């Protein structure tokens, strides 16, 4: 259930990024960071009028207990008026399943964890990071895999770094970044942080190379968010590729000791394979819930000519409504249990007979079926 909640949460966060991009597309970066009211208050002065006592009245007693002390000069430092950034703080997004935000660090940091026992999350993160930088026109200037550091060359990518949908001709930035990757072998994960090394910006012809700590962190957070979205895309693409290729299927028992088919692949890959495979063998998908692992179908025998054409034995399964229940077995394996319309497990002999045909189907790539 926790994995399912993570997938829903990731979808909502991704939708939030897209929504913010659409809402902000009609304003410039400078307008988004500046308050949209006047700044006349900066010219306001405190009036020290004398306390007038009408003639004939006695002067009251005075106390200095509630006098407002004068502000020290040090308190007058910092941005004011149009120099104040009114945007909400940038927030790291955990769009990759199982990822976490590392709190309290000097640099924004995201943890990525292995989703299967066979995944080398460190190698994946390095590979995805390099391809992400290439996609955004950023070269790798220095890289030390042993130290876990990577420095980029200068690259211009206002859209990705500003976090919005389109480039703005009046707002251009060039930056260099330092990425630091630290392995966490105990928890089978890696911590990835980002920091701005150098910054150049051009706003309406006004050029600057200075950047404050808060603004630098904002850019680093947004770049990490963009990378996280790319990381998730790469995982999905790889799962889809694996789900459509050859996959082992054995006859066994699920975690409830019911007759089942055991697929030699993680849950997400088997889920994708089942969604693609079932309609090809007479199962019309009526409903499904990935977070709970079930697929409701209605079976209609495709006919003897279909089985003869594919060189397979027909299912000894009565036409009707069924439910395929997927479950994680551990060790990168997934169970598939079949229930009838009354939610009762299908007889073991039927499951065993169907295994012959299903195992042949799983052994083939989907493109060859």
Residue 75 within a domain: no
How far is it, in rounded angstroms, from Cα 194 to Cα 108? 6
Residue with tokens 């876990």: 148
Residues 166 and 227 reside in one and the same domain:
yes
Residues 230 and 270 reside in one and the same domain:
no
Two tokens, residue 201 = 């910006």
Instruction: For residue 271, name the pLDDT band (cuts at 50, 70, 90).
Output: very high
Residue 96 within a domain: yes
Residues 210 and 300 reside in one and the same domain:
no
* Mean pLDDT for the chain overall: 84
Q: Are 277 and 311 in contact (CB under 8 A)?
A: no
Residue 16 within a domain: no
Residues 102 and 216 reside in one and the same domain:
yes
Q: What is the CATH number of the domain that holds 255?
A: 3.30.310.170
Residues 233 and 311 reside in one and the same domain:
no
Residue 276 within a domain: yes
Q: Is the pLDDT of residue 14 over 60?
A: no
- Report, as an integer, the average pLDDT of 215-227: 91
Half-sphere exposure of 348 (CA within 13 A, CB side): 7
Running DSSP on this structure, what letter comes out for residue 246? -
Tell me which residue range forms the domain holding 285.
249-368
Residue 32 within a domain: no
- Total count of domains within the chain: 2
Residues 120 and 255 reside in one and the same domain:
no
Q: What is the CATH number of the domain that holds 219?
A: 3.30.530.50
- Report, as an integer, the average pLDDT of 269-294: 95
Residues 283 and 315 reside in one and the same domain:
yes
pLDDT at 16: 52
Residues 296 and 152 reside in one and the same domain:
no
- Report, as an integer, the average pLDDT of 50-54: 82
Task: Give 64-114 pLDDT, tens digit per residue.
Answer: 888 878 777 777 677 777 777 777 778 898 999 889 999 988 899 999 999
> Buried b vs exposed e over 260-297: b needs ≥16 C-beta within 10 Å?
bbbbbbbbbbbbbbbeebbeebbbeeeebebeebbbbb
Residues 272 and 361 reside in one and the same domain:
yes
Task: Give 136-184 pLDDT, tens digit per residue.
Answer: 888 999 999 889 999 999 988 665 455 443 455 667 888 999 999 999 9
| Whole-prediction pTM | 0.67
Residues 224 and 271 reside in one and the same domain:
no
Residue 21 within a domain: no
Instruction: For residue 32, name the pLDDT band (cuts at 50, 70, 90).
Output: low
Q: Which of 181, 212, 243 is the last residue of a domain?
A: 243
């Amino acid at each position: 259930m926790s994995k399912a909640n993570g997938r829903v949460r990731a979808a909502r966060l991704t939708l939030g990024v897209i929504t913010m991009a659409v809402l902000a597309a009609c304003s410039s970066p400078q307008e988004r960071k500046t308050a949209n009211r006047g700044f006349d208050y900066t010219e306001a002065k405190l009036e020290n009028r004398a306390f007038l006592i009408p003639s004939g009245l006695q002067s009251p007693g005075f106390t200095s207990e509630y006098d407002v002390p004068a502000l020290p000069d040090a308190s007058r430092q910092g941005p004011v008026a149009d120099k104040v950034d009114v945007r909400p703080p940038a927030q790291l997004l955990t769009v990759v399943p199982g990822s976490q935000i590392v709190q309290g660090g000097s640099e924004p940091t995201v943890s990525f964890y292995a989703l299967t026992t066979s995944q080398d999350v460190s190698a994946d993160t390095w590979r995805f990071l390099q391809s992400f930088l290439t996609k955004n026109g950023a070269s790798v200037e220095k890289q030390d895999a042993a130290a876990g550091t990577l420095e980029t060359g200068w690259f211009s990518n206002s859209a990705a770094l500003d976090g919005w949908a389109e480039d703005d001709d009046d707002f251009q930035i060039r930056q260099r970044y330092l990425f630091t990757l630290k392995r966490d072998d105990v928890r089978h994960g890696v911590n990835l942080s980002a920091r701005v090394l150098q910054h150049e910006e051009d706003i309406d012809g006004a050029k600057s190379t200075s950047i404050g700590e808060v603004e630098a962190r904002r850019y680093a957070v947004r770049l990490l968010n963009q990378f996280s979205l790319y990381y998730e895309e790469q995982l999905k693409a790889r799962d889809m590729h694996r789900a459509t290729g050859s996959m082992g299927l054995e006859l066994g028992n699920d975690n409830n000791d019911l007759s089942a088919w055991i697929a030699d692949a993680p849950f997400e890959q088997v889920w994708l394979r089942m969604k693609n495979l079932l309609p090809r063998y007479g199962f019309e998908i009526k409903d499904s819930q990935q977070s709970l692992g079930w697929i409701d179908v209605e079976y209609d025998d495709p006919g003897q000519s279909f089985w003869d054409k594919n060189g397979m034995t027909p299912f000894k399964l009565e036409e009707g409504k069924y439910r395929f229940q997927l479950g994680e077995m551990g060790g990168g394996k997934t169970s598939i249990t079949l229930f009838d319309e009354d939610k009762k497990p299908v007889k073991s002999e039927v499951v065993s007979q169907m295994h012959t045909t299903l195992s042949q189907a799983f052994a083939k790539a989907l493109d060859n079926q």
